Amino acid sequence: MRASDVVLHHYWESPYAEKVRRILGFKGLAWKSVLIPMMMPKPDLLALTGGYRKTPVLQIGADVYCDTDLIARVLERLRPEPTLFPAGTEALVYALGPWQGELFWLAVRRVGTTVPIFPDGFLEDRSKMVEGGMSLEKLLREVGPEREKLRAKLDLLERLLAAGGPFVLGAAPSLADFSLFHPVFALKLFPQTAEDLAAFPAIRAWAARIEAFGYGEMTEIPSAAAVDIARAATPVATSGVADGEPNGLRAGERVSVVHESFGLDPTVGELVAASVHEIAVRRTDERAGEIVVHFPREHYLVSRV
């Protein structure tokens, strides 16, 4: 696994992609940028993932990594310094995940109900990713209470940064900064929602510090070229199923992996590796060849097929 082989599949408006782009800048990595559609169809991406359609996706050769929780770990392994987990903070920054998830949804709903930015069919596309769908009427009905909840969360982040700082956990940047920055990025994109940050000077100063990391060294390539990269590569060696696998999964079994709540499109393949924090399945695509797709264990459902 070489740093020069990093490919990020993303689109610029994606807050979660912004999280990874800023981590790439923080670590000073060179990477290849593949711009993908905001909504389906995404044929080149699905040739690599086998079903997973969310943004972003990290590719290194014939290995594909889904979900920013896992992508952060992969980039940390690839370039340990500067670290995303200073002074043993890995457990803490991942424990903040649900809180940043709530902030993210409040921010994107605030943007989506305030600024007409989404293309026709966007809500219908996202409704397919949630059990029971999404209701525009419900979103609009809850605009007022949602804005109150967003202000309350921003106030907590403001007080944390004002009392400690310059970063979320103190003197050094950590994954917590990039995780909490990307919802703020969504608000900053548009003047109508950037106004929500006017009362929070510590957040604005902190966001500027994160933005100062830049994006690293980026080279754009077409999505078809990323499929060709995968086809020409061989997946990295895997370590099989680690001891203690709670449900008795075995290497070679056919399994399905899907997010527990958002993104209902499973990836199906042969189980090749499983550990406490990562699971990997091998699949073959007629265009991309043999691919190993990796997922985090938290928030993903793994079932035998």
Q: Which is nearest to 66 in space by CA: 289, 288, 280, 284? A: 280
Q: Which residues of the chain form CATH 3.40.30.110?
A: 3-82+217-304
Q: Which residues of the chain form CATH 1.20.1050.10?
A: 88-211
Strand partners, 270: 254, 282
Q: Which is nearest to 104 in space by CA: 145, 132, 146? A: 146
pLDDT at residue 3 greater than cutoff 70: no
What is the model's pLDDT at position 154?
Answer: 98
Write b or e for each residue in 27-42: b if 16 or more Cβ atoms lie within 10 A of its Cβ, otherwise e: bebebbbbebbbbeeb
Q: What is the mean pLDDT of residues 34-46?
A: 96
Q: Average pLDDT, whole number, for the chain? A: 94
pLDDT in tens, 14-36: 999 999 999 999 999 999 999 99
Q: What percent of the chain has pLDDT over 70?
A: 98
CATH class of 3-82+217-304: alpha beta
Q: What is the mean pLDDT of residues 140-155?
A: 92
CATH class of 88-211: mainly alpha
What is the model's pLDDT at position 117?
Answer: 77
CA distance 169 to 166: 8
pLDDT in tens, 232-290: 999 997 889 999 999 999 999 999 999 999 888 999 999 999 999 999 999 999 999 99
